[in-house]
């Protein structure tokens, strides 16, 4: 009986720990894309397609994604803490250890979830708007825009901005 109870307790602890690990959001892929998406008229026979224009605007874009699982870290941490606390002591001491383990696990799980969410949800990118020589405008989302400034002449080659000196 004691071996079965211990096996169930250890298995549920492992499952609760795996659930806490699943609370950590995945880091977003570092993407550099253009907006709006346009078809590139280049083909293998034409070579690289190049456009020219001037930078008209640079704006900072804050990237923040809401947490999909608020409070799950606290719940799973509380369950894991209660299971571990239940393994300690006997009688009234076991009940107290279970309660203390549940509270401590909930606090720890909440802190882990909050720190993981804060680290991966916030970020910055730059939206650089270019007025092309043909009259159209294109916006590029970039991780950094280097030494480019508003009114700089730029070349767009294969979807990448390059400053013309």
Query: pLDDT tens, position by position, for the chain (165 residues)?
Result: 667 776 776 676 666 666 666 655 554 444 444 444 444 444 444 556 789 999 999 998 877 655 556 677 788 888 888 888 888 767 777 888 888 888 888 888 888 877 776 555 457 888 999 999 999 999 988 888 788 889 999 999 888 888 988
Residues 116 and 126 in one domain: no
In a domain, 31, yes or no: no
Nearest to 143 by CA among 159, 163, 123, 118: 123
Nearest to 67 by CA among 4, 5, 112, 98: 112
For residue 2, with 0-12 CB atoms within 10 Å meaning exposed, 13-18 middle and 19 or more buried, which class applies? exposed
Residues 77 and 114 in one domain: yes
The token pair at 102 is 């549940």
Residues 11 and 82 in one domain: yes
Residues 164 and 83 in one domain: no
In a domain, 32, yes or no: no
Cα 125 from Cα 128, distance rounded (Å): 10
* Domain enclosing residue 116, as ranges: 1-25+67-121
pTM above 0.85, yes or no: no
With b for 16 or more beta-carbon neighbours within 10 A and e for fewer, the 49-74 pattern comes to eeeebebeeeeeeeeeeebeeeebbb
Overall domain count for the chain:
2
In a domain, 149, yes or no: yes
Helix (H) or strand (E) holding 129: strand 123-132
């Amino acid at each position: 009986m004691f071996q079965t109870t211990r096996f169930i307790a250890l298995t549920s602890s492992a499952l609760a720990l795996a659930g806490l690990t699943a609370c950590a959001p995945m880091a977003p892929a570092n993407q550099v894309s253009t907006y709006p998406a346009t078809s590139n008229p280049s083909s293998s026979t034409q070579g690289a397609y190049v456009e020219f224009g001037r930078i008209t605007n640079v704006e900072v874009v804050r990237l923040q994604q809401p947490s999909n699982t608020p409070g799950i870290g606290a719940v799973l941490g509380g369950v894991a803490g209660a299971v571990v606390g239940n393994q300690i002591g006997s009688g009234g001491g076991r009940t107290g250890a279970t309660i203390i383990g549940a509270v401590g696990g909930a606090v720890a799980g909440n802190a882990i979830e909050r720190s993981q969410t804060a680290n991966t949800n916030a970020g910055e990118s730059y939206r650089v708007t270019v007025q092309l020589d043909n009259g159209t405008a294109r916006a590029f989302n970039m991780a950094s825009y280097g030494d480019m400034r508003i009114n700089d002449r730029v070349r767009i080659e294969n979807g990448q901005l390059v400053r013309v000196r």
